[in-house]
Chain A
């Protein structure tokens, strides 16, 4: 009886909870949108349907010439009818409006937008803007060559034109530029809505002017505008959605995602539903030391009489996976098979790997944060890993480092060696001290069964970090209790240049003492370990990248006149 009632009670409990409310963990049922869905929106779908409709009409006109002739007659009759209304004053006004379609007008708008995007380092917006323009211009041009529709018959054309008429390339070019500007430069909301209204009015006015001047047929102008709008709208909604790539006028790091607005709400809801933690507040932290993710500190409500406390979270998006790939590719080209790194194929794999390394270190009783779980924000696009936050801990560069802390650092490396691990990112920002206890954070780069070179570098980096707060002689003296002199010599023979993280190299430079040289003096002589590794893979990879760059530059040059 009890056994039969229990599942029913659980079911009722689940039904009582509403999405977005705090409560026990809750599975997302099939069909329910994720916390931050990725959508084209109703208008995006509408414009795509319009493009599909026009495309089908064009294909029909190509396949069945009689159908094309029908359009020709329809369009030319409308043009003739409108031309009957021409007056000198109205013609002057329409010629003025038609200046909107001048290549110089469009050029100024485009270059102005590009300049703003470069100034504010909004690279994603820039790439999408350029991509949308190139796609629109080139497809519109090729479509005009395919359709080969002459200019208007029966009516005298009163404005300048270039090439075949279907679709209207100036209309398409201006439409994609204006829509791109609205999505790149205007903050979403009422302001952007109004701007879109102005764009619509301008495009309608321009279409009327071009039809009046008989430079475009009505269908040319209509299709040109629809095509330009659709490409711009879909490109920005899909490849640079405002939730993920907000329109901001700060000059922050590109790797960090905006955690306000809809994403912020999604994070709060997702952490509540998926980890059963009630988030009271979230705040980005340590952005300057992190380029591979967006680190967050979440303030969460206490449970069972416990006070509220903090948890640490790292938000990963596809841009981080791409950045990781480029980073590894760059290192492979520059240094060869330095670390034999394989790239991650998705954000899911990214976050799963960090979750694994956290659990591994906790299992081994190493002083690293306890993982609380992975939170799905947008499937396959954004995930967040939540872990313990070392409240009250300070970065080692600001902490008091005594012999006990030095020993803990050295023991940490020794333990990792014993367990067949390497941290691979030992630097001041990843070593925290709380109540005299050393903590190791950011374990994403941890590698199981790494190369001996990598382990040796970990030791050298740890000793350098410890020496920054003390001195090399003292650290070396303590290290002799944990490692043999040969191992210490190997560590400093391996730690050369890029082997140390950028933050550590900067700190060493700022410190002024040549700690690395001092360690090498203290350790027995040993030939430096070469960093450069040549392989067929490296040669092929370098050649492929060079060829890709050549192709990309050629493509830009080839299409320059179409674009600019």
Chain B
């Protein structure tokens, strides 16, 4: 009995230790919006009408990990040239954009304004901030001493996009008959 218990405890610890950093590379991709992860992101910042996701992985880029908690959700990407944690995508309720350059393009999405925080080239560091109703997403580029920082940033930009929250609201309603409380959803119980 004791050996069994010791065995189970050791196996549990080892399994846990080995898998604690395990990440699901597909969890933040845009083509898997019916998974639990996007729903959790939508619950983290219920006011946000857009949710960040990964459209495609450019060559040399991979998923790094994620952290979702109330009022904040973030995930990050690794690059074979820019290192680990090269780009972090952070969703919050609001951002302070006072004094930042507004770089919104005329062809951009409606109701999304884009800002840029100071750029340094070596090490390459920059923040791109997307502000939209009920939320804000920050792309943090941290490429260290990698060459071709702007090119890497462009690759990261191509990889990332947004999915409308309403899509998830509809999915939860269709599949479970329940309400994903927040923006684009009917009022919930206990709402102020």
Asked if A183 CB lies within 8 Å of chain B CBs, one says: no
Q: Interface extent on A, as a size class?
A: 35 or more
Please give, as numbers and ranges, the residues of chain A lying within 8 Å of B191 by CB-CB distance: 156
> A156 contacts B190, CB within 8 Å?
yes
Q: Nearest-CB distance from A8 to chain B (Å)?
A: 39
Asked if B98 CB lies within 8 Å of chain A CBs, one says: no
| Main DSSP-derived SS at the B contact region | mixed
| Assembled-state Cα–Cα distance A149/B181 (Å) | 16
Asked if B71 CB lies within 8 Å of chain A CBs, one says: yes
Asked if B189 CB lies within 8 Å of chain A CBs, one says: yes
Please give, as numbers and ranges, the residues of chain A lying within 8 Å of B68 by CB-CB distance: 162-163
Asked if A157 CB lies within 8 Å of chain B CBs, one says: yes
B1-21 interface mask toward A, CB cutoff 8 Å, 1 = contact, 0 = none?
010010001001101110111
Known: A138-B20, A164-B36. A153 touches B176 (CB 8 A): yes
> A154 contacts B70, CB within 8 Å?
no
> B12 contacts A80, CB within 8 Å?
no
- Name A139-181 residues within 8 Å CB distance of B: 139, 141-142, 145, 148-151, 153-164
Please give, as numbers and ranges, the residues of chain B lying within 8 Å of A214 by CB-CB distance: 190
- Name A75-134 residues within 8 Å CB distance of B: 76, 79-80, 83-84, 86, 131, 134
- Name B137-192 residues within 8 Å CB distance of A: 172, 176, 178-181, 188-192
> B16 contacts A150, CB within 8 Å?
no
Asked if B29 CB lies within 8 Å of chain A CBs, one says: no
Please give, as numbers and ranges, the residues of chain B lying within 8 Å of A63 by CB-CB distance: none
Asked if B57 CB lies within 8 Å of chain A CBs, one says: no
From A23-31, A269-277, A335-343, A555-563, give the one contacting chain B: A555-563
Residue A162 contacts which of B9, B24, B70, B189 (CB distance < 8 angstroms)?
Answer: B70
| Assembled-state Cα–Cα distance A80/B15 (Å) | 37
Please give, as numbers and ranges, the residues of chain B lying within 8 Å of A69 by CB-CB distance: 176
> B35 contacts A148, CB within 8 Å?
yes
Q: B5 — nearest CB in chain A belongs to which residue?
A: A238
| Assembled-state Cα–Cα distance A138/B12 (Å) | 9
> B43 contacts A157, CB within 8 Å?
yes
Residue A131 contacts which of B9, B20, B40, B176 (CB distance < 8 angstroms)?
Answer: B9
Known: A142-B19, A154-B188, A161-B70. A148 touches B37 (CB 8 A): yes
The listed residue with most B CB atoms (<10 A of its CB), out of A134, A155, A158, is A155
| Assembled-state Cα–Cα distance A214/B188 (Å) | 12
Residue A83 contacts which of B22, B178, B189 (CB distance < 8 angstroms)?
Answer: B189
Asked if A255 CB lies within 8 Å of chain B CBs, one says: no
> A154 contacts B189, CB within 8 Å?
yes
Q: Nearest-CB distance from A169 to chain B (Å)?
A: 12
> A145 contacts B69, CB within 8 Å?
no
> A142 contacts B20, CB within 8 Å?
yes
Interface size on B, residues (CB 8 A): 35
Asked if A234 CB lies within 8 Å of chain B CBs, one says: yes
Please give, as numbers and ranges, the residues of chain B lying within 8 Å of A141 by CB-CB distance: 16, 20
| Assembled-state Cα–Cα distance A555/B39 (Å) | 32
B49-87 interface mask toward A, CB cutoff 8 Å, 1 = contact, 0 = none?
000000000000000000111110000000000000000
Asked if A72 CB lies within 8 Å of chain B CBs, one says: yes
Residue A153 contacts which of B2, B9, B17, B179 (CB distance < 8 angstroms)?
Answer: B179
Please give, as numbers and ranges, the residues of chain A lying within 8 Å of B189 by CB-CB distance: 79-80, 83-84, 154-156
> B181 contacts A138, CB within 8 Å?
no
Residue A135 contacts which of B13, B37, B43, B172 (CB distance < 8 angstroms)?
Answer: B13
| Assembled-state Cα–Cα distance A161/B68 (Å) | 9
> B70 contacts A153, CB within 8 Å?
no
Q: B20 — nearest CB in chain A belongs to which residue?
A: A138
Q: Nearest-CB distance from B160 to chain A (Å)?
A: 22
> B70 contacts A138, CB within 8 Å?
no
Please give, as numbers and ranges, the residues of chain B lying within 8 Å of A151 by CB-CB distance: 40, 43
> B181 contacts A155, CB within 8 Å?
yes
> B20 contacts A150, CB within 8 Å?
no
> B172 contacts A153, CB within 8 Å?
yes
> A72 contacts B37, CB within 8 Å?
no
Please give, as numbers and ranges, the residues of chain A lying within 8 Å of B24 by CB-CB distance: 145
> A139 contacts B178, CB within 8 Å?
no
> A145 contacts B35, CB within 8 Å?
no
| Assembled-state Cα–Cα distance A156/B179 (Å) | 10
> B69 contacts A76, CB within 8 Å?
no
Residue A138 contacts which of B2, B5, B17, B192 (CB distance < 8 angstroms)?
Answer: B17
Q: Nearest-CB distance from B136 to chain A (Å)?
A: 19
Please give, as numbers and ranges, the residues of chain A lying within 8 Å of B70 by CB-CB distance: 157, 159-162
> A139 contacts B21, CB within 8 Å?
no
Q: A76 — nearest CB in chain B belongs to which residue?
A: B178
> A238 contacts B2, CB within 8 Å?
yes
Please give, as numbers and ranges, the residues of chain A lying within 8 Å of B36 by CB-CB distance: 148-150, 164
Please give, as numbers and ranges, the residues of chain B lying within 8 Å of A154 by CB-CB distance: 178-179, 181, 188-189
| Assembled-state Cα–Cα distance A351/B17 (Å) | 37
Q: B180 — nearest CB in chain A belongs to which residue?
A: A153
Please give, as numbers and ranges, the residues of chain A lying within 8 Å of B178 by CB-CB distance: 72-73, 76, 153-154
> B69 contacts A142, CB within 8 Å?
no
Q: Nearest-CB distance from B63 to chain A (Å)?
A: 14
The listed residue with most B CB atoms (<10 A of its CB), out of A151, A163, A164, A238, is A151
Please give, as numbers and ranges, the residues of chain A lying within 8 Å of B21 by CB-CB distance: 558
| Assembled-state Cα–Cα distance A84/B189 (Å) | 7
| Assembled-state Cα–Cα distance A73/B172 (Å) | 12
The listed residue with most B CB atoms (<10 A of its CB), out of A80, A131, A138, A139, is A138
The listed residue with most B CB atoms (<10 A of its CB), out of A72, A154, A159, A214, is A154
A selection of 23 A-B contacts at a CB cut-off of 8 Å is A73-B176, A76-B178, A80-B189, A86-B190, A141-B20, A148-B35, A149-B36, A150-B36, A151-B40, A151-B43, A153-B176, A153-B179, A154-B178, A156-B181, A157-B70, A161-B69, A161-B70, A162-B69, A163-B40, A163-B67, A163-B68, A238-B5, A558-B20
